[in-house]
Amino acid sequence: MAVPKKKTSKSKRDMRRSHDALATPGISVCPQCQEPKQPHRVCASCGTYKGKEVVGTEE
């Protein structure tokens, strides 16, 4: 079984973990209802995508 010969320093450990941080999701504005939504997804409030109604919403 492989065993490390030396202790991994805090610097090396933290450099390895530098890519593990969570990124915040992008937010855009719906052109129909001006509500915030994620890009390339159907708007949850009005149900449109690329100017066309895709999902019917109850109002």
**In terms of pLDDT, which residue wins out, 16 or 59?**
16
Per-residue pLDDT band at 2 (split at 50, 70, 90) = very high
Q: What pLDDT does residue 35 have?
A: 94
Helix (H, G, I), strand (E, B) or coil at 12: helix
For the segment 6-58, what is each residue's pLDDT rounded down to a tens digit?
999 999 999 999 999 999 989 999 998 999 999 999 998 889 998 888 887 66
Angle at 22 between CA 40 and CA 28, to 5 degrees: 30
- Cβ neighbour number for residue 43 with a 10 Å cutoff: 23
